[in-house]
Amino acid sequence: MFKFNFEVNDSDSSDNTESPFKKPKVDQKINSESEKDEKILWYKAEQIKPTKVILQSLDLYELNAKVLTFKDVELRHIIAGFLLEDIKKNSDVDSKDIKKSEESHSDLIAGVYEGGAKIWECTDDLLKYLFKNYEKKHWENKLVLDLGCGSGLLGIYAMKCGAKVDFQDYNKDVLEKITIPNVLLNLNETLTDDEKIDQLQKKSNFYAGDWSYFTTLTENLEKYDIILTSETIYNMENQQKLLDTFKKRLKSDGIVLVAAKSHYFGVGGGLEQLVEFIKSGKDFLSTYLWQADENLKRGIIQLKLQ
């Protein structure tokens, strides 16, 4: 079995209330028959602009944050459990999708919520892979997309290594309540509020909505050198949409790194199935970069345009 022979420290690993990389509720990534029979109206894409309003809660976020350490790169992120409890207690109309997910005890509500409030295992896998296999200078002057970003840790890692990063998630409230606060937590603490917002707007873009609408919204913008994505392939019906997004938004010499489980029980999708699906087409060459032979098999693949 492949093992990472380097040290990664979680400065708050003693907190047993919630692991930063929580095991997914796989059985909850299953649509009911009634949901399958209904036509899903996917959210249209929109660009989300960070505002100073988010800074009002930054001190509270800092008190309820964890730190992941990769040598000289520290990633700070809000503890999801704290944030979710806060959202459930407050009638915040801007967090309606996250709140609906928590009330229904489901990590997936088709067309409504796609699990972005939690950090899944494969994000951990990809972070470790990036740390081990890419020097910091690799990211300099690169334009990176964190697709289906959720907490945004993959994009934040690339950003702190010198890349310009855009973040995309299906849910607007995930971006506003989780992703953007996490990015702010990782900016230089000596910056003023105005400087933080200015830096955020200059170095990153944030997009909400369905992938097909996202590609249309951004079709005239610069394409990406690297696209990072984790745990986004479980729905087989959306896989072609995902591959189309890669094809339309990736530079001709760019790469896509996909981290996922080998199989998502109950929905049929998985990394092995995706690789076969890619082979049946003519757009990408896929290469396995890493595999874990644990009870819950996981892997990382690289895609390049043919």
Q: Could you tell me which of 158, 191, 183 has the C-alpha nearest to residue 73?
A: 158
pLDDT at 101: 56
**Average pLDDT of 265-290?**
93
Which residues on adjacent β-strands are paired with residue 260?
299
Which residues on adjacent β-strands are paired with residue 48?
206
* Within-domain flag for 157: yes
pLDDT digits (tens, 9 = 90+) for 238-262: 999 999 999 999 999 999 999 999 9
Task: Quickly state the pLDDT bin for 2 (edges 50, 70, 90).
Answer: very low
pLDDT at 80: 72
Angle between helices 239-249 and 271-279 (to 10 degrees): 60
Which amino acid would we find at residue 211? W
Distance between CA atoms of 7 and 241, rounded to whole angstroms?
37
Average pLDDT, rounded, for the chain = 83
- The answer to whether 94 touches 86, Cβ cutoff 8 Å, is no
| CATH number (domain holding residue 257) | 3.40.50.150
b/e per residue 254-281 (b: at least 16 CB within 10 A)? bbbbbbbbbbbeebebbbbbbbebbeee
* Within-domain flag for 178: yes
pLDDT digits (tens, 9 = 90+) for 66-106: 999 999 999 999 987 766 666 666 655 555 666 555 555 55
- The answer to whether 300 touches 129, Cβ cutoff 8 Å, is yes
Determine how many CB atoms are found less than 10 A away from the CB of residue 294: 9
Asked if the model's pLDDT at residue 273 lies above 80, the reply is yes
Asked if the model's pLDDT at residue 149 lies above 90, the reply is yes
pLDDT at 166: 98
Provide, rounded to the nearest whole percent, the portion of the chain with pLDDT above 70: 75
Only one residue has tokens 């997914």, namely 24
With vertex at residue 146, the alpha carbon angle to CA 271 and CA 275, rounded to the nearest 5 degrees, is 15
Of residues 208 and 97, the one with the higher pLDDT is: 208
Half-sphere exposure at residue 239, Cβ-oriented, CA atoms within 13 angstroms: 22
Of residues 4 and 287, the one with the higher pLDDT is: 287
* Within-domain flag for 8: no
Can you give the residue range of the structural domain that contains 132? Answer: 42-305
Asked if the model's pLDDT at residue 60 lies above 70, the reply is yes
DSSP 134: -
pLDDT at 196: 92
Specify the range with the lowest mean pLDDT, choosing from 58-62, 149-153, 196-200: 58-62
* Within-domain flag for 33: no
| Distance (Å) of CA 186 to CA 46, 97, 272 | 24, 25, 35
Structurally, the chain folds into a number of domains equal to 1
* Within-domain flag for 117: yes
- The answer to whether 269 touches 232, Cβ cutoff 8 Å, is no
**Average pLDDT of 262-270?**
85
Task: Quickly state the pLDDT bin for 115 (edges 50, 70, 90).
Answer: low
Of residues 265 and 3, the one with the higher pLDDT is: 265
pLDDT at 95: 58
